[in-house]
Structure 1
């Protein structure tokens, strides 16, 4: 594990900000590190304001998209809202369909079957639209590479509006409008929206075009916040504003579906982390194990009893998903050992009966073990389908582009992608991917890294300090929860391994013996480092700060990420 101290902020700027905000200089330094280096920026950061969202009409093709929807409504056309089967896609479909249905009733939804149709726009979906007299499809979180499919739809008299956030190919589909802030010819000020975020901007544009009150969009922000968390987009700029207000909706007036999930879990206040690890996996489980329309039904129903029924079903799918991903992960690890591939620069594994719905999760689990760019393949119809995941600092999308001669189709982001290839191309692809990664990855990227924001004295950790830290949330990419390091601490003598298998380490740290600044710390999966804390030996700790509630008492505790002699 590498510990890397981030570049430290300019002292003069740090002190100036501390004075302007009336806060501790140390906290001001954390803000300056995040680019929040002036009073006005701090105000926007701590009080995200919906009035600071960008003008949706700055996005290329937005005016055309709005006019086409208005024309469809004027002509009483049937509109099909089409989305991908993951969290971003299903929240997008729930958002767009319920928003349109609030003022126009000729709207239906379609989500492709993960197994029968695969990712993105499908010919079956277009045929469904043609057979049911839909003349406009709004595609969300997919479509920017669907050149042949959009042409096929056009032959059947069906128009497309695409709302996507994936990287486009060299050519765009011949859709009526392609809304994608990553288009080279799009000058929209923020290009890190998720698919649901792009869909929200279209809704915002429709509100502005009709001169309606923006407040009608606020109840939909819980969906946008969920997609932002699940899709791991940077929580800065518009994403921070949308996530902040979306979390507020989840915690104050959640839709029936979210309320049903939260009700099962007995949790009062949800953070973005809870959304990522509690709500998102359950929404995803429907598409992984059964069909993603179950997730859409959960998110659009107003009936709490109905929501509870669907949530209970989805909970079962989620249990099945956990079982499948655990067993497949073990099989994949065994395959790597049997093939003597532990020392490669990549992990590429395949078995034809692995469950397609969980291969992305398995790829992430394998990175936890081997920490290198990873692809997990399974059989999908006539092809092999894979989920790709990467390690910090390495662009797996670029690596796949260099293997494109063996790939049928692929799409995605820097750290996550999906692809299909012909079975006979698997050995050549696997060899080429290893070759590309070996030639391009920087060797330090093959070792997990803990990025440390600052060196923190234990006495700085007070309830007031923690309260201000909490105001820096929602945390996520580009605004991660601060990680601190304190050097040369010691255990008070009562440290021990805990948990069923004694995998975890529970200690109380002090700077010196009998120091009154003692603080509890827990290190999950750090039990193997228990020797470092014995005999009052000094050690360094890397950690985040959290609260621990026990018997009604709330105390601060350190969440250890690593310890070193």
Structure 2
């Protein structure tokens, strides 16, 4: 039921997807200056995303100068920079130990690239997902020390690796942790732990808890160069261009689904500019392998470039992403990018099999607050993606667990919905003895569990999160930014809307309602996509497409029960550039009867 205190958009209280439609910003009362700003779409978009009217200019064109904090505000940042600077000056061997996903790969590539540029001896180590699992292992850290690394920097992992870091300490090797995952009150024995989500962090630093690990690594890069500069290291050599690293920061931030507001939005906006210049050989090869004929946009990072880097860690060789992003050999870059594209196709096939098996189990989960689905033989490299798909399908948090046939141990990955902190629940379950290991952040988490504990674990999540899930689902509405007739859905409108980007979690892309329209044609294209051709009362028509929506109530209504009815269609306005000239289309997310 829609809140009576907020005006319904276009009078829609219950759409075909079962949501009320609201104007973003509530009743659209935007303050004293609203009357003079009402024709400025860009300003309206910024204001309805929480920007203060006096701060519009800064957010309209986000730059690092306007959003970057002093890295020294973060606990252990200066200590980390000092220790790495010492290693550079002493010609020590430094190994960057990264996670096997995009955030880990970009974080590792950023520090390796920077360290090599300043003349340091820098290596990298990416664990194998299947053989070693998530996070640093004590065995691997000790082995790296025995092979000559006196300093190890973990990126996108390590915040909860108490035992592994204890082994490294006992072996006499210094470990610096650069992470963004949730921490426990007791910190692991690291030489420094840089993480805005430390529980003892300052308010200013904690306000940057939405950073991906690659964003934290970039702040460390700034601190390191400043430290080396203070020591006179650049008196006779050129300083590296830190801005050239922002393509890595943008890719890791978007692919890790980090909230795109404040500093992250500046990272991505500026990183896309760097990426468009194609100065990084590996990134250029990745863009070509993704068949992009234009400069990458924010959505491309999450749906084209990121999945290819991830494919190496999921179903292939875990080091491929870092190798690609750090190579200076164009032929090698092209070969790795093509290999990652092939692995991505393999990943899609494996994912489809696991998703089908997981969805078959949903019938027994209808009363669960969190969908906990497990199966023997499921590939652990795709369970996170499948969890995301299940979450989208059910509107509830989902955890998908791949059980090993012989040991009875399961590796799980979870994805949450807005308003439900899954990472905190996983940490609580681990502390309660229900998990072998586990951690994460609000929207995503990973875990290791004994098969015998599955039911108790699911019950624990039900008890802890049921109220949060119910509240979050009740608050799910379609928030609209504007409504137009079909003739108003133009390429110029799309360009205007994109000026308030980049968009992502925490900075939602604008939703447009188009209508009223009558359905001219609605059918299924591809595997399960709904295509709609609709005509408006202004004499103009539009094309809309709803991805993976063939079996939805919305698709069935528009295809079979639309005769004589008028509808409002809602979704994201996009450019369709397949034809001879660009046309605007609607990426359909919802629809509602207009009469």
Same fold (TM over 0.5): yes
Aligned counterpart, 1:299? 325
Question: Who is 2:6 aligned against?
Answer: none
Counterpart residue number, 1:225: 250
CA offsets, 1:141-197, max 9 Å, x none? 111111222221111111111111111111111212111111233222522111011
Which residue of structure 2 lines up, in the alignment, with residue 490 of structure 1?
517
Match of 1:427 in 2: 455
Corresponding position: 1:198 with 2:216: yes
- 2: CA distance, partners of 1:343 / 1:476: 30
Aligned residues of 2:91 and 2:120 also touching (Cα < 8 A):
no
Contact 1:374 1:389 in 2 (8 A): yes
Q: How many Å apart are 1:310 and its aligned residue?
A: 0.9
Distance in 2, matches of 1:336 and 1:533, equals 28
Q: Which residue of 1 aligns with 2:584?
A: 556
Query: How far apart are residue 421 of structure 1 and its match?
Result: 2.0
Q: Indicate whether 1:280 and 2:306 are aligned.
A: yes
Query: 1:109-128 alignment to 2 at 5 Å?
Result: 109-128=124-143
Over 3 Å counting, the alpha-carbon distance change for 1:527 and 1:473 in structure 2 is same
Give the Cα–Cα distance (whole angstroms) in 2 for the partners of residues 151 and 376 of structure 1.
31
Which residue among 112, 137, 159 is the counterpart of 1:144?
159
CA drift of 1:454 comes to 4.2
TM-score norm. by structure 2 comes to 0.87
Q: Name the structure 1 match of 2:377.
A: 353
CA deviation string 1:436-474 (max 9, x = no partner): 333543256179643333455666545544332121121
- CA deviation vs aligned residue, 1:105-141 (integer Å, no higher than 9, x gap): 3221111111121111111221222221211111111
Q: Distance in 2 between matches of 1:502 and 1:350?
A: 25
1:450 to 449, 467, 478: 478
In structure 2, distance between residues paired with 1:68 and 1:552: 57
Q: Which residue of 2 aligns with 1:55?
A: 70
1:3 to 9, 17, 20: 20
Deviation, 1:86, is 0.7
Structure 1 residue 258: Cα displacement: 2.0
**Structure 2: 5+ residue stretches without partners:** 1-16
Q: Which residue of 2 aligns with 1:236?
A: 261
Q: CA deviation at 1:498?
A: 4.4
Q: Could you say which residue in structure 2 is the equivalent of 1:36?
A: 51
Q: Which moved more, 1:426-435 or 1:413-422?
A: 426-435
Match of 2:11 in 1: none
Report SS of the residue matched to 2:373: strand
The aligned residue for residue 258 of structure 1 is 283
Distance in 2 between residues matched to 1:442 and 1:378, nearest whole Å? 27
Shift in Å, 1:300: 0.8
Runs of 4+ in 1 over 6 A off after TM superposition: 212-215
Corresponding residue of 2:315: 289
1:246 to 271, 278, 282: 271
Counterparts of 1:50-449 in structure 2, within 5 Å, are 50-52=64-66, 53-187=68-202, 188=205, 189-211=207-229, 216-264=241-289, 265-337=291-363, 340-379=364-403, 383-404=409-430, 405=432, 406-442=434-470, 445=473, 449=477
User: Does the CA-based 8 Å contact 1:298-1:310 persist in structure 2?
Assistant: yes
Deviations 1:228-261 (A, max 9, x none): 1011111111111111111111112242222222
1:263-303 CA distance string (max 9 Å, x none): 13142121111110001111000011122211111111111
Structure 1: how far apart are the matches of 2:56 and 2:544? Answer: 31
- Residues of 2 paired with 1:547 and 1:74: CA distance? 51
CA distance in 2, matches of 1:453, 1:214: 45
Q: Which residue, out of 60, 71, 96, partners 1:46?
A: 60
TM-score by length of 1: 0.91
Cα pair distance change 1:527/1:503, threshold 3 Å: farther
Structure 1 residues 463-542: aligned runs within 5 Å: 463-486=491-514, 489-491=516-518, 494-500=520-526, 503-510=529-536, 512=537, 515-516=538-539, 518-524=541-547, 525=549, 526-531=554-559, 534-542=562-570
CA RMSD of aligned residues (A): 2.5
Q: Helix, strand or coil: the match of 2:80? A: helix
Separation in 1 of the partners of 2:95 and 2:528? 53
The more displaced of 161-170 and 69-78 is: 69-78
**TM superposition shift of 1:386:** 0.7
What SS class does the counterpart of residue 482 from structure 1 fall into? coil
CA distance in 1, matches of 2:393, 2:261: 30
Q: Which runs of 5+ in 1 are unaligned?
A: none
